[in-house]
Structure 1
Amino acid sequence: MRKSKLLYLTMQQILFLMYFLMSYFVYTIALKEGNEGVAIQFLGGKDDGFFYWEQVKNIVSGETAILTSIYPLIIGYVVKVTGIEDVYIIRLFNYMGFVGFVFISVWLIDLIFKLSSSQKAGDMTTERANSKTVLILSYMCYINLMMYATFSIYRDIWIMFFYAASVLLSVIVVFVPKEGYAALILLIPSLWMLGELRFYAAGSFLITVILYYLYKKIKQVKRPFLIIGIFLTLFIFYYTFLINYQIPYLKMSLGDALDYRNSALTNFSGGSQMFINLKQYFFGTFFVNYFHSYLGNSIGPLPWHINGFSTLFLFIIETGPMVLILRYLWIKRALLTAIHRYILLHAFVWFGMIGLSNDNVGTAARLRMIGWVLFLIVFATIYSKVQSDKEKTVRLAVTNDKKEIKSTEKE
């Protein structure tokens, strides 16, 4: 028990040190390149971090800034309040966001064990510590997570922070309603911040909660497939006749989202495009293409999307491992609790959102981190439980063998 907890704490500190050193390394190299410590220009172009830094300087000097989200405003005031007009203060700010994100992930594991297990708290200590160790190791090996947390001053780590926080708080609200009032009060500002950072992230969260409660209601209906058929018919009607209707909170229609996606196939086409056109007149073709896009955005690049070293590398380090993790969860699906399924639903809906709007493999690797992290949290808890059960079986077998030997000796 003590050994497992010590291993987890050690791995956690190594993880924090890795990300801190990587951020500092990139900062020093970017300074030497003349990029003010923002980022290393691998391909000669400037990334989002350069844009954010320009807006920060505008905010500090009192000039008009372009606020594509609340993030430039936040980091602008971080610089303004501290008086340190150096990118490194933003890097430290984002590093604290990463540390907070890791702690929230760990607390979510604790909550899963607390609400899902019938064992006593003391009996779960080793299993819980092993789950956290597996998750920390996953974060060490998740190259894209490291890149977007350290390579520049991206907003992604804060989006993940607030999404993970919202999931954690919503688990309390949904599964412990008697104790959920305080969590609900905290959930509201967390969702607001999530929406201000990436508006459709909050939309995805709300859609997931709605679908979860609809699923619970549909399960109680005697003819669930009839209800599903009705929803499918309504979507076909919406796609055919209301595709250009603007959704109030999102301030855009499905047609707008598909037009934006199609612009990536024409005006802004890149080398890692999937070239999947979702703007179809026939809804059947839309469904087929959307399923293709869903797979490409969730576990891509798919083999036929590989067109160079970068997509091949992404396929090896991300697609392969994630397919194995999904296969493992499918095989062990009997161990999934209601909380596991709720968390996984958030991931699946998130993939559905980015599957509608994104056609680029590289962008998908960045956007899907939210969903993949939720998968990793579920995987860590299931894997540790399976290993714990195996160890208990072995110990029980050894104990029984010893008893049989003693019984034989007495005879």
Structure 2
Amino acid sequence: MKVFKILPSAFLVFTIVLLVFIKSLFFIAIQNDFFSIGLGGGNDAEYYNDYALGYADSAVNIWPVMLRYLNDRGLYSRIITSYLLFFISLFFIPGLVNKLADLNFKEDQKNYLYIILLCLIYPTIFFYTFDVYRDVFMVFSFLVGCLVVKRCLNSSNYVNFLLLFIFSLIIGFFLLGLRPYLGYAFLLALFLWKIRFTKRRLVFLAVLYFSALFFVNYLGYLDFLTDYRSGFEEVGGASTLGLDFSNPIMFIPNFILSALGQLFGLYVTNPLAIILFLVETVPFFFMLVYVVKNIRLADNFVRFLIIFFVVYGSVWLIGNDNLGTAVRLRIYNYLAIYISFFYILRIKRLSSKRL
């Protein structure tokens, strides 16, 4: 895309270095209590720390179990874990996204730098490095899983394919332990990646998809999600969309409104939501449009990412009605499109060289 040719590489490198420096100062200031930032779901980290230290007995996922395991062996520190998560967000996540997009610095210099910039300016990932939240570790685990899947689907050797497929299944079950529907979407995409996409077929698949959602909900198989969603309204607060999913006839319109409000960030409640919309959602939207326009170039791995995007998004857009939680849940949807976008850009570049 022409827009990616505007900024010189030197400027991008300078911006990346500056961002790393500013974020490091900001992170250190937070860790040393110079000031604090209130986050939605702020009790999560407190609970995880309490469980790790043995002050809580009920584990809601495997993240606190892992922390307690480390603590039992004298390896756990709340501060050190936060620094480790910050380090992962600063270096490992951008590196993995670049690896998944098949970019290298020599051949795809600007796109390589743009991905790093996108990951570094992503506010939600940064916010959840300040304490022992599970989000950054889940993103890291998901990207590692995607890397294994990519190598699996691109393998021409049957034995390698089988071994990598089994490893992908193991990672999928690990993701189930971190967040059930994240692992469920990962595993389901692992079995549905052979579905081929064209622009014409996308229309048919979209009609089939919405029809299937409608009938599955009408038959009551999504009641556990809609009932969970209704709990947000009972708790109250201004951060809910307030959509009533109890009427099956209105399920699809409500689902679309939920996607517009939560996935696309069009329900703005405060200045922070505007910032997140501009920094996170606007790039995601244009990349999503580009991926759809060039869907014919989707190979095995990109199809896996797109199927994951749809399955994972379907679950949380039905079950979640908290806008603060939505910005955490949609990280995986956004990253799947970021990777697909740059992956397809590279395919187009290579195709033009052959011509």
Compute the TM-score of the two structures, normalised by the length of structure 2. 0.80
Indicate whether 1:274 and 2:241 are aligned: yes
Indicate whether 1:291 and 2:230 are aligned: no
Q: Secondary structure at the match of 2:233?
A: coil
Equivalent residue for 2:304?
A: 342
Indicate whether 1:166 and 2:136 are aligned: no
Equivalent residue for 1:265?
A: 233
From 64, 68, 80, give the equivalent of 2:60: 68
Q: State how far apart, in whole Å, the 2-side matches of 1:101 and 1:194 are.
A: 17
Q: State how far apart, in whole Å, the 2-side matches of 1:6 and 1:332 are.
A: 30
Choose 1 or 2 for highest CA Rg: 1
Contact 2:44 2:133 (8 Å CA) reproduced: yes
Task: Identify unmatched segments of 5+ residues in structure 2.
Answer: 1-7
Q: Secondary structure at the match of 1:171?
A: helix
From 166, 173, 179, give the equivalent of 1:192: 173
Equivalent residue for 1:25?
A: 29
Q: State how far apart, in whole Å, the 1-side matches of 2:9 and 2:277 are.
A: 34
Shift of residue 103 of structure 1?
3.4
Aligned AA (2:120): M
Indicate whether 1:79 and 2:41 are aligned: no
From 273, 276, 281, give the equivalent of 1:311: 273
Q: Secondary structure at the match of 1:264?
A: helix
Shift of residue 210 of structure 1?
3.5
From 146, 152, 163, give the equivalent of 2:126: 146
Shift of residue 281 of structure 1?
3.5
Question: Bigger CA drift: 316-325 or 133-142?
Answer: 316-325
Contact 1:173 1:184 (8 Å CA) reproduced: yes
Structure with greater contact order relative to length (CA < 8 Å, sep ≥ 6): 2
Q: Secondary structure at the match of 1:126?
A: coil
Shift of residue 174 of structure 1?
2.8
Equivalent residue for 2:4?
A: none
Shift of residue 74 of structure 1?
1.0
Shift of residue 46 of structure 1?
4.3
Equivalent residue for 1:241?
A: 219
Task: Identify unmatched segments of 5+ residues in structure 1.
Answer: 34-39, 114-123, 244-253, 397-411
Aligned AA (2:253): V
Query: Given the superposition, is the C-alpha separation of residues 183 and 47 from structure 1 closer, same or farther in structure 2, using an over 3 Å criterion?
Result: same
Shift of residue 338 of structure 1?
4.4
Question: Bigger CA drift: 179-188 or 43-52?
Answer: 43-52
Q: Secondary structure at the match of 1:82?
A: coil
Percent identity between the aligned chains? 21
From 313, 320, 336, give the equivalent of 2:282: 320
Query: Given the superposition, is the C-alpha separation of residues 353 and 76 from structure 1 closer, same or farther in structure 2, using an over 3 Å criterion?
Result: same
Query: Given the superposition, is the C-alpha separation of residues 209 and 235 from structure 1 closer, same or farther in structure 2, using an over 3 Å criterion?
Result: same
Shift of residue 137 of structure 1?
0.8
Aligned AA (1:52): Y
The C-alpha deviation readout for 1:247-298, integer Å capped at 9, x for no partner, is xxxxxxx2111101011112x222221112222243xx11111122123232
Equivalent residue for 2:80?
A: 89
Indicate whether 1:377 and 2:339 are aligned: yes
The C-alpha deviation readout for 1:79-101, integer Å capped at 9, x for no partner, is 332356x4212213424543443
The CA RMSD over aligned residues, in Å, is: 3.9
Q: State how far apart, in whole Å, the 2-side matches of 1:370 and 1:345 are.
A: 12
Q: State how far apart, in whole Å, the 1-side matches of 2:9 and 2:183 are.
A: 34
Shift of residue 322 of structure 1?
2.4
Q: May I ask how many residue pairs the two structures share in their alignment? A: 342
Aligned AA (1:379): F
Q: Secondary structure at the match of 1:265?
A: helix
Compute the TM-score of the two structures, normalised by the length of structure 1. 0.70
Q: Secondary structure at the match of 2:242?
A: coil
Contact 1:8 1:133 (8 Å CA) reproduced: yes
Query: Given the superposition, is the C-alpha separation of residues 359 and 316 from structure 1 closer, same or farther in structure 2, using an over 3 Å criterion?
Result: same
The C-alpha deviation readout for 1:290-347, integer Å capped at 9, x for no partner, is 12212323211x1xx2233233333333333322333344455555444333323322
Query: Given the superposition, is the C-alpha separation of residues 182 and 10 from structure 1 closer, same or farther in structure 2, using an over 3 Å criterion?
Result: farther
Equivalent residue for 2:136?
A: 157
